[in-house]
């Protein structure tokens, strides 16, 4: 028989990842399949849910081939995924149109309408209506694709579509449901007035479970395709940020972390709902019962570095980072002549809630180089995170030392710069790029009745970074200049 294995699946925006985790918390194997985003119009962002399923099949096939013994011992599955996406199904569970993703900004007017009509709902749902959240997207569908809207039998979040293909069941968890704007985050149940404000009925939403609860069993069709046991347990799972928190051990009030992936966020775990909707701070349900988290979110994070790398014609991000490290060593303060960068390439959430806001460089000169532009991008993302941290503090959440996870965590230079900017200890973790997968697998074990001790175990600390006092005065002055540029950026779309 052998000891049980949990399968963790994380449906990201750019990649689907999967891991096999044993009861000791060891990753036995992992696999990843790249995903493509479709942008049919400016500000639109879509994916075909069928591509998610095919990526899931391909990733699990890799695991099955590389670790056949461990794969045969899979006894539970946990799911994690990108939040706020809208997967629309008809009565036969057929997808009605491509899924509208979290960074899609077409529903700006609908979000504004929801806020104007129901301003009191934000304290209940934990967030202001924003174009990126699920609810406004449905109002857009109702207005511009009425035939699709009339055919909707159910609205699912992205990872819950994978569950549907695995089990045949329409189920979501509290953390992903919180990101729809249809959940009463205190009661951890659907908030019917907001559902109805979007022209929907409760019957069109999935059944809710906690992330660590058993949601459904693997059906015969999926079991046959995947080479797994029928009725194998699938846990509730959760959204990518809260499940990453489970993966790294950020499960109790006072824990916090910064995620620096395609988007970026600062997350503080709380034992109660600690919201600050006016500053676009989210207060959502954690993937574990009786826990919540407060989040300041940026729409563009490490993707800014990828963008400027391509813009400058550099081979890859690592090449540009090496140029930055050589040209602007952290042993000396940054020159006032170095450009400033506003990281609003996709608009911004916290604290500005402005999807039309756009980024830019300021203070360019003939002496500006690829290194100084690269540095400005790293710093600008850091300043955006500092804005988000101030808003999270205003919500009443406390943020101490922070783990740094996501692709940006690979750069020690960036980690040190973030520590200098937010004036906190920052530490990186071994294996954090798989944190959402590992968190999902841990939730799978909990649903299976095992793995409670895994919750307390985080990931090994790779390196620790502490604020460098010599850098503080110049960075504080540059942060004030950064904040002073906001008004000018906003006037460009007024």
Of 199, 204, 222, 216, nearest to 90 by C-alpha is 204
What does each C-alpha distance from 236 to 214, 216, 233, 360, 494 come to in angstroms? 6, 8, 10, 41, 43
Task: Classify residue 333 by its DSSP letter.
Answer: P
- Catalytic member of 10, 22, 104, 240: 240
362 is in an annotated binding site: no
176 given a catalytic annotation: no
> Token pair of 125, please?
């749902």
Euclidean distance between CA atoms 344 and 357, whole angstroms = 6
> Token pair of 434, please?
């798989």
Task: Classify residue 475 by its DSSP letter.
Answer: H
> Token pair of 279, please?
């500053």
Cβ atoms 212, 452 nearer than 8 A = no
What does each C-alpha distance from 432 to 13, 55, 109, 179, 413 come to in angstroms? 17, 21, 37, 23, 17
Euclidean distance between CA atoms 228 and 34, whole angstroms = 23
Its sign, for the CA torsion 17, 22, 23, 27, is negative
Beta-bridge mates of residue 258: 266, 404
Cβ atoms 430, 462 nearer than 8 A = yes
Helix axes 317-327, 302-311, angle to 10 degrees: 90
Of 135, 99, 105, nearest to 358 by C-alpha is 105
What does each C-alpha distance from 7 to 70, 146, 249 come to in angstroms? 10, 39, 18
Please state whether beta strands 292-298 and 282-285 pair in parallel, antiparallel, or not at all (unpaired): antiparallel
Q: State whether residue 217 is helix, strand or coil.
A: strand
Euclidean distance between CA atoms 62 and 30, whole angstroms = 8
Euclidean distance between CA atoms 17 and 185, whole angstroms = 28
Please state whether beta strands 5-11 and 74-81 pair in parallel, antiparallel, or not at all (unpaired): parallel
- Phi/psi at 361 (nearest 5 deg)? -100, 145
Between CA 440 and CA 442, with CA 441 as vertex, the angle to 5 degrees is 90
390 is in an annotated binding site: no
Of 223, 215, 121, nearest to 175 by C-alpha is 215
As annotated, the active-site residues are 240
The binding site for substrate comprises 83-84
The binding site comprises 83-84
């Amino acid at each position: 028989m052998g000891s049980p294995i949990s399968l963790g699946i994380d449906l990201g925006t750019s990649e689907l990842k999967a891991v096999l985790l044993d009861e000791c918390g060891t990753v036995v194997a992992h696999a990843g399949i790249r995903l493509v985003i479709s942008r049919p119009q400016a500000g639109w962002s879509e994916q075909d849910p069928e591509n998610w399923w095919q990526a899931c099949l391909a990733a699990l096939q890799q695991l099955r081939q590389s670790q056949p013994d461990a794969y045969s011992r899979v006894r539970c599955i946990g799911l994690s995924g990108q939040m706020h996406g809208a997967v629309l199904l008809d009565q036969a569970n057929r997808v009605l149109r491509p899924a509208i993703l979290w960074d899609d900004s077409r529903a700006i007017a609908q979000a504004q309408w929801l806020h104007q009509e129901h301003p009191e709902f934000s304290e209940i749902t934990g967030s202001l209506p924003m174009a990126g959240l699920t609810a406004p997207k449905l109002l857009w569908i109702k207005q511009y694709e009425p035939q699709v809207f009339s055919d909707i039998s159910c609205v699912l979040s992205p990872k819950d579509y994978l569950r549907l293909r695995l089990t045949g069941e329409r189920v979501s968890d509290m953390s992903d449901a919180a990101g729809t704007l249809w959940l009463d985050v205190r009661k951890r149940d659907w908030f019917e007035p907001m559902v109805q404000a979007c022209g929907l009925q409760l019957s069109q939403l999935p059944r809710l479970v906690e992330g660590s609860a058993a949601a459904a069993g693997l059906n015969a069709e999926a079991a046959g395709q995947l080479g797994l046991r029928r009725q194998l347990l699938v846990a509730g799972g959760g959204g990518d940020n809260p499940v990453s928190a489970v993966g790294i051990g950020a499960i109790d009030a006072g824990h916090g972390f910064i995620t620096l992936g395609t988007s970026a966020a600062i997350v503080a775990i709380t034992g109660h709902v600690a919201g600050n909707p006016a500053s676009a701070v989210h207060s959502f349900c954690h993937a574990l019962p009786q826990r919540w988290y407060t989040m300041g979110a940026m729409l563009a994070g490490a993707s800014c570095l990828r963008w400027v790398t391509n813009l400058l014609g550099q081979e890859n991000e690592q090449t540009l980072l090496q140029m930055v490290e050589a040209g602007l060593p952290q042993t000396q303060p940054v020159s006032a002549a170095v450009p400033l960068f506003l990281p609003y390439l996709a608009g911004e959430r916290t604290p500005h809630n402005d999807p039309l806001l756009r980024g830019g460089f300021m203070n360019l000169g003939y002496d500006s180089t690829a290194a100084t532009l690269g540095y400005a991008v790293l710093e600008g993302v850091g300043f955006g995170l500092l804005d988000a941290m101030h808003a999270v503090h205003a919500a009443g959440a406390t943020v101490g030392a922070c783990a740094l996870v996501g692709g940006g965590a690979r750069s020690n230079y960036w980690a040190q710069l973030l520590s200098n900017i937010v004036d906190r200890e920052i530490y990186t973790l071994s294996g954090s790029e798989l944190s959402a997968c590992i968190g999902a697998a841990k939730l799978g074990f909990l649903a299976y009745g095992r793995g409670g001790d895994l919750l307390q175990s985080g990931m090994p600390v790779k390196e620790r970074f502490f604020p460098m006092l010599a850098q503080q005065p110049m960075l504080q002055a540059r942060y004030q200049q950064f904040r002073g540029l906001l008004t000018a950026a906003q006037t460009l779309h007024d």
